Structure 1
Amino acid sequence: MNVNYTDMIATFGIGGAHPGGLSATKHIVDRLQLAPDEKVLDVGCGNGQTLEYLANTLPNPLYGIDQHNTMLANAKKRLKDHPSITLKHADIENLPFPNNYFGLILSESVTAFTPIDLALKEYARIIKDNGNLILLEMTTNDTLKQEEQLEIEDFYRIPQLLTKEMWCDSIRKAGFQIISVEAIPDHLENIIDFDLQTVISQRHFELMATHYHLTEKYKSTLSSRLYYCKK
């Protein structure tokens, strides 16, 4: 069966798959200073946990996009009591929104899985002047050996791994100012929930086991950073 890491997340219906989980989302939201009429986009909204939390916390118009059909279906199911949330099937490199549309774009462990420079360019196009971009993204703490980099890239199907300095360079080139960069606070509890699908193959369990193996193997090499940016 040709399934990958993202398929596994969709099939298990995992909410809060990003580092720090829902606690990291709450940490981000607690720091927001956002006018109530500003539109918010959750890129790669996955199974909808973040949008559900935002809907219960903020008065803002909310949008979510994802290119994975199962995840989008899971999100629609989860958000059925929030019909005002706009969900779209879309690629991050070609977002179906006009220029200068959003006051905030949130990416929780999503942009690293895309052609990063193209994604950041699209974010810059659809964010208003003085709008905010918050990225929670996989970051290497040091230069990896080639075989290590290939192992991680092949499993997660990511095009490249960036250090903090490389992330900052790409963010600036896209037209953003970097307000701050921080590690995910250690005290945050990684809250993950599951909404299991009816049929789960052995391959899905193998992928989950490999994910946890790689997380442990590279725990001193890979981390995640929060990049707070302004256009």
Structure 2
Amino acid sequence: MRKFWEQYDPTPKSMMLCSAANDVLEVEDRVQVLKTCPPLNGKSVLELGAGIGRFTTELAKVSRNVTAVDFIPAYVEQNKKTNGHFGNVKFLAADVTELELPRKSFDVIFSNWLLMYLDDVEVNNLIIKLLSWVKDGGYLFVRESCYRPSGDVKRDTNPTYYRSSDEYFRCLRGSTYSDHLGQDYVFTCQRAISMEAYIRHYGNPFQLGFVLQKMSHAADSYDSFQAFLDGSQYTEEGIRRYEFIFGKTYVSTGGQTTTQQFVKKLNLKPTDAVLDVGCGIGGSAFHMAREFGVKVHGVDLSTNMINMAIKYQGDMEEAVRKNVSFEMRDITKADFEENSFDVIYSRDTILHIGDKEALFSQFFKWLKPGGKLMISDYCHGDKEEYSTEYTNYVHQRGYHMLKVVDYGHLLETVGFKNVDAQDLTSTFIDILNTEAKRFVSQKEEFLTRFSLQDFEYILEGWNAKVRRCSAGDQAWGLFIAEKPL
């Protein structure tokens, strides 16, 4: 590895292995990486794989102190020349796999293109060290190239491990550190996002940044909602089963058909920016980008959903690849800039969220004046007393649902105007019956991929939805609203 890096001059082009690195790409990439990082102001930062200091300069400007580490002495010297005037930077020439530092010394650990040059054993061992070096509640930022090379600089050899996004989720969250008191700690993933600069310039969604937080094992996310999604309702196998019914890239009612019908109502323009909340595996985002030329940013809490969405994006035509981006994030903890989007769109997702008023207030803030909101969602039926089957179903799933009319009133309460709250339950029943009929006709094909138990589980789920809706317990609503000019 040392021989590999010693052949390159200490320049941005060499650090990025990209001929365009001295141009717009380098600046745009650096800006987004720093924007994705956890809070740095006044923090103690450990920068691993610092190279010639592309990021050291910016880290030093805002952090209390920075320890910049790289294992190529020439790069460390160049970093010193560039950033030695900062009084809060310490420079170390060291191999991170052999580095030893005091426990709980740093608020944030930052690395850009480091783990891809370590094998699996080295990565796992390093993660345990990082857990010991960062303070309790502190953060780790990791940016890596996934799946394939992203640069165009010719290389005679390439000692890089191009892991999948799923492999990074597993290895970053899969190690446990036990301190001297016997307390176990893990990293939990707060955010993962494709770097916009590489999408915009190359249509490459495989440059990913991960934000993780150190938490005690007892307080981590194993019993969280995200764990429920990834480990129960939306395992990769479970998503594939839904795709069989709804169509490739879709996991919501009606698949491509309802997406076309609903999106048509938005009158999208090529200049529009869309936020897709609960984007799943990307079906609606790809449709909007392809048919209307809009830019779509999809957010979902499920790592399995985002992994699959990003892989699908990599297979799309260039125009779609360059107009779509995906992010793993809890939308209730997101904070986009005010007036960022022309449209916010969500399909059958917000039933998972308890404090809808707070979320809708954020939607209102993020939309531009005159912007549109479109949501489809599961709702309570318009009756006073519900069946035991239905109440058990809602409780078991942990859903937070409203009646259609109350949903509409809540949107008005936070400031939306021209709210159109439509009860589409009869349409929902028709779609469910059509999907179930088609599913039964495809039983033999389904059983070549999945089990009989899977078939029976899905069919009963569809039949149960029809029963609940027909009895007036469950409803399906479509909500369209506008932010006033």
CA RMSD of the aligned region, Å? 3.0
Q: 1:218 corresponds to which residue?
A: 468
Q: Is 1:179 aligned with 2:429?
A: no
Matched-pair identity in %: 19
How many Å separate the matches in 2 of 1:42 and 1:205? 30
User: Match of 1:110?
Assistant: 349
Residue in structure 2 matching 1:10, options 225, 239, 242: 239
3-state SS of 1:100 partner: coil
**Alpha-carbon distance in 2 for matches of 1:9, 1:101:** 33
Pairing 1:94-105 to 2, within 5 Å after superposition? 94-105=333-344
Task: Report the structure, 1 or 2, having the larger helix content.
Answer: 2
Out of 341, 350, 367, the residue aligned to residue 127 of structure 1 is: 367
Q: Report the alpha carbon displacement of residue 35 of structure 1 after superposing the two structures with TM.
A: 3.4
Q: State the AA in 2 paired with 1:107.
A: S
Deviates most, 113-122 or 46-55: 113-122
SS at match of 1:120: helix
Tell me the distance in 2 between the aligned counterparts of 1:161 and 1:97: 25
State the alpha-carbon separation in 2 of the partners of residues 147 and 31 from structure 1.
Answer: 37
2:266–2:372 Cα contact (<8 Å) kept? no
- Within 1, Cα distance between the matches of 2:335 and 2:238? 24
Q: 1:229 to 1:9 in 2, by over 3 A?
A: farther
Could you tell me which of 398, 402, 408 is aligned with 1:157?
A: 398
Give, in angstroms, the shift of residue 9 of structure 1: 4.4
Once the two structures are superposed, residues 89-137 of structure 1 have per-residue CA deviations (whole angstroms, 9 ceiling, x without a partner) of 1112122421110000111101112122232122112111111000111
Determine if contact 2:234/2:304 at 8 Å carries over to the other structure. Answer: no
1:2-37, CA deviations, whole angstroms, 9 ceiling, x for partnerless residues? 743344743536343323332111011222223321
Could you say what secondary structure the match of 1:98 adopts? coil
Larger CA deviation: 180-189 vs 117-126: 180-189
CA drift at 1:218: 0.4
String of CA shifts for 1:25-58, please: whole Å, max 9, x gaps: 1011222223321201111110111112112111
Q: Secondary structure at the match of 2:469?
A: coil
Find the counterpart in structure 1 of residue 380 from structure 2.
Answer: 140
Q: Deviations over 1:43-74 (max 9, x none)?
A: 11101111121121111111101110001011
Q: What is the TM-score with the length of structure 2 in the denominator?
A: 0.42
Query: Which structure 2 segments of 5+ residues have no match?
Result: 1-227, 244-248, 440-445
Greater relative CO (CA pairs within 8 A, separation 6+)? 1
Quick check: 182-191 or 51-60, which moved more?
A: 182-191
Partner deviation per Cα, 1:197-231 (whole Å, 9 max, x = no partner) = xx978986675355224213202222212111111
Give the letter for the 1:5 counterpart. Answer: Q
Contact 1:46 1:72 in 2 (8 A): yes
- Cα 1:146–1:215 change in 2 (3 A) is closer
The one-letter code matched in structure 1 to 2:391 is L
Deviations 1:151-175 (A, max 9, x none): 22234321x2211121012111222
Taking a change above 3 Å as real, the CA distance of residues 69 and 170 of structure 1, as seen in their structure-2 partners, is: same
1:206/1:93 CA distance change after superposition, 3 Å: farther
Q: Which residue of 2 aligns with 1:55?
A: 289
**Higher mean Cα deviation, 17-26 or 84-93?**
17-26
TM-score, length of structure 1 as denominator length: 0.82
Aligned partners of 2:334, 2:455: CA distance in 1, in Å?
A: 32
How has the CA–CA distance of structure 1 residues 205 and 151 changed in structure 2, closer, same or farther, with 3 Å as cutoff?
A: farther
Q: Distance in 1 between matches of 2:382 and 2:389?
A: 12
Residues 157 and 228 (structure 1), Cα distance of their counterparts in 2 relative to 1, 3 Å cut: same
Aligned amino acid, residue 83 of structure 1 = R
The aligned length equals 225
Computing the radius of gyration from Cα coordinates, the structure with the larger value is 2
Q: Offset at 1:178?
A: 3.7
Worse-matched range after superposition: 100-109 or 201-210: 201-210
8 Å CA contact retained: 1:13, 1:47: no
Contact 1:13–1:74 (CA under 8 A) maintained in structure 2: no
Question: Is the CA contact (8 Å cut-off) linking 2:279 and 2:299 kept in structure 1?
Answer: yes
Query: Which secondary structure does the structure 1 equivalent of 2:401 belong to?
Result: coil
